[in-house]
Amino acid sequence: MKLSALFGTPSIRRRISSAFLIVTVFVVALVAASYFQLRQVRPFSNTIIHDSTDLVSVQRLSSATSALDADFERYLIIRGAEYRDSVQKDLQEMNDSLAFLQNDPTPGTESTLSELETIVAALQEKIAPVLDANLGGSSSSDVNRLVVAVYKDIDQVKLL
């Protein structure tokens, strides 16, 4: 059957059939165009998802760093066990966030993440003696040096 014959005949059945055929071809063309468009968008959406999860981890790291700053200061002033636990929880949160970021790093951030890992490890080593209730042979000047070093490291983490 010729397409011109379908449109040229006065039969209702042929007109409905030809309209259905035209709509079907139009729908198939739209489906194909949508499929190819989605294939082009998929890499961008994967990048956006990866970047957004990294951003959440960076925000968690930042939040934990700010909380560590505040909780460590409270511990130094009040010396409460709850602040000691909060400082340890903040350090653990920083480690968890950093580990998540290092699992699948964004290209170009490897050196920064490595530096952050070094600083966070140093923070744990410096904070542990300060949190220790039995400072034994440590003088107050040694503790003060550790506290100053801790705050320098916290500032460095915030900067990075």
Closest by CA to 17, choosing from 35, 33, 3, is: 3
pLDDT in tens, the chain (160 residues): 565 655 555 688 888 888 999 999 999 999 999 999 989 988 888 888 888 888 888 899 999 999 999 999 998 888 888 888 999 999 999 999 998 888 888 888 888 888 988 999 999 888 888 887 555 556 777 778 888 888 898 888 888 8
Q: For the full predicted model, state whether its pTM sits above 0.75.
A: no
Most distant CA pair in the chain, distance: 107
Angle (CA) 46-48-51 rounded to 5° is 110
